[in-house]
Structure 1
Amino acid sequence: MLRPRIIPSLLIQDKGLVKTIQFKNPKYVGDPINAVKIFNEKEVDELSIFDIDATTLGLEPNYSLIERIANQSRMPLCYGGGVKTVEQAQKIFGLGIEKIALSSAVLQNPDLITQIANRVGGQSVIVVLDVKKKLFGGYEVYTHNGKKGTGINPFDFAEKAQKLGAGEIIINSIDQDGVMKGYDMNLIDKIREKISLPLTVLGGAGSLDDVKKVIDKHEIIGVAAGSLFVFKGVYKAVLINYPTKLEKESLIQK
């Protein structure tokens, strides 16, 4: 039976774990390997890891770090950052990653979705859409850590990605990133109307109540968060955390 997934989302920059606010001012919060070990103990549903330097600086994925993370992990892993070719994707899968997250490369060449899906299976191909609200209404997809507007409508592209064989969409609100004031429910509603694929939402969780609000409305959905699972308390002390089994059950029950 399919269930909602509650997913910590980790950002890596220069091999360290960082957290951002609206994709700006990355703050170092620890060692990613240590975070993976802690999340193992907390039995998380899935873990997403994004290398935020790879695309921006035009770097190859850091295969050594990916392998170290995969070797430590006892949970399903999704990796994104710098993947531009089928060969790179295959190499990463060979290191033990279950899902590849694609963004800039497939916005420029949507057929890459199909090419990778044909090689490794569509269920493993995730398309990430980082979006901002437009000044006069609507949303636009951005790349390069929220610095580069594409002019692409996220809802139209999500439909295209579905037709091209993607297995899942991650929709990430840049406006809500790190603000911890709740998800953009309008954005989630609109993307859910457009696609039947598995959907994961990211950006804005400040409490488990925010997570529950999304699950109550959309039921079988992935709810991802960064700050919520690396900070604790009003002063945002760095503390890796995740709901207990009892807390998770309360989140997914109406």
Structure 2
Amino acid sequence: MAAKRIIPCLDVKDGRVVKGVNFEHLRDAGDPVELAALYDQEGADELVLLDISATVEGRATMIEVVRQTAAVIKIPFTVGGGISKAEDIERLLSAGADKIGVNTAAVKNPQLISEGARLFGSQRIVAAIDARYNPEMQDWEVYTHGGKTASGMKVLDWAKKVEELGAGEILLTSMDADGTKDGFDLALTRAVSEYVSIPVIASGGAGSIEDFYKVFTEGKAAAGLAASIFHYQEVRIPELKQALRAKGVDVR
């Protein structure tokens, strides 16, 4: 079994890192390139950069952020947000990204995943799934457009579909847990991790070292992603890895 990965996430809006709760109430968390360099030095296994404004104006900003980030870090990083066609994927990979995360555009046009996998390799295509529990469905539902639009699709159905289309891994964000620091959504994470054979990155809700331990052992996640606890140095990556090793978790 592959060693578990620790992945800081940088939500980038207009060239700055921001963080909110349940996808709202954003506050500034610093410069993305500086934070990326810090996490590289601290022993993060990978990084995720999400362009959450993803407007036409923001796109040029993000390309420059990707270029600058690639110049200062050695670890792999994934870029997502506003990617709607193969040319967008190619542009970001050319700027230095290692993987590309697709969400809304892939729900609208699933062939974006298969085309991306065919042109650039499955290992470079990450299917980002924003999930929220729907009591009427009695299941988790896929959301698009930065968590604003319900798709009517069940998360497990879509997770299986993106695997079949050729995505190399899934970045699974619990909107219910996002920014709360009350812990990852273990039921959601485990359900998806056991339903597909590709790696699942758990996102949303990390607040402590124990939360990471639980998402790896109970949630069966391949990687744990967090933002605010790293940005505001509530948990440092070296101490997190040390504590997980002490609990018997194989981390990189």
TM-score above 0.5: yes
Match of 1:74, SS state, is coil
Distance in 1, Cα, partners of 2:67 & 2:108: 27
Residues 251 and 37 (structure 1), Cα distance of their counterparts in 2 relative to 1, 3 Å cut: farther
**Residue 216 of structure 1, CA deviation:** 1.9
Query: TM-score w.r.t. structure 1 length?
Result: 0.91
Distance in 2, Cα, partners of 1:90 & 1:122: 14
Structure 1: any 5+ residue segments left out of the alignment?
234-239
Is residue 246 of structure 2 the alignment partner of residue 250 of structure 1? Answer: yes
CA root-mean-square deviation: 2.0
**Residue 227 of structure 1, CA deviation:** 1.6
Q: What letter is aligned with 1:242?
A: I
Question: 1:106, 1:113 within 8 Å by CA — same for their partners in 2?
Answer: yes
Say which is worse superposed, 96-105 or 65-74, in terms of deviation. Answer: 65-74
Question: 1:66, 1:95 within 8 Å by CA — same for their partners in 2?
Answer: yes
Distance in 2, Cα, partners of 1:23 & 1:251: 32
**Residue 37 of structure 1, CA deviation:** 1.5
Aligned to 1:40: 40
Post-superposition Cα deviations, 1:143-179, rounded to whole Å, max 9, x if no partner, equal 2221111111111011011111110011100111110
Is residue 184 of structure 2 the alignment partner of residue 180 of structure 1? Answer: no
Is residue 236 of structure 2 the alignment partner of residue 241 of structure 1? Answer: yes
Aligned to 1:237: none
Match of 2:49, SS state, is strand
Is residue 158 of structure 2 the alignment partner of residue 157 of structure 1? Answer: yes
Moved >4 Å (runs of 4+): none
Is residue 19 of structure 2 the alignment partner of residue 24 of structure 1? Answer: no
Question: 2:182, 2:206 within 8 Å by CA — same for their partners in 1?
Answer: yes
Post-superposition Cα deviations, 1:170-225, rounded to whole Å, max 9, x if no partner, equal 11001111100011111012112210101111001110100001112355611111
Post-superposition Cα deviations, 1:20-79, rounded to whole Å, max 9, x if no partner, equal 100001111111111012112102111111011116x79646211211111112211011
Distance in 2, Cα, partners of 1:251 & 1:219: 15
Question: 1:212, 1:252 within 8 Å by CA — same for their partners in 2?
Answer: no
Aligned to 2:10: 10
Match of 2:160, SS state, is helix
Structure 2: any 5+ residue segments left out of the alignment?
none
Match of 2:79, SS state, is strand
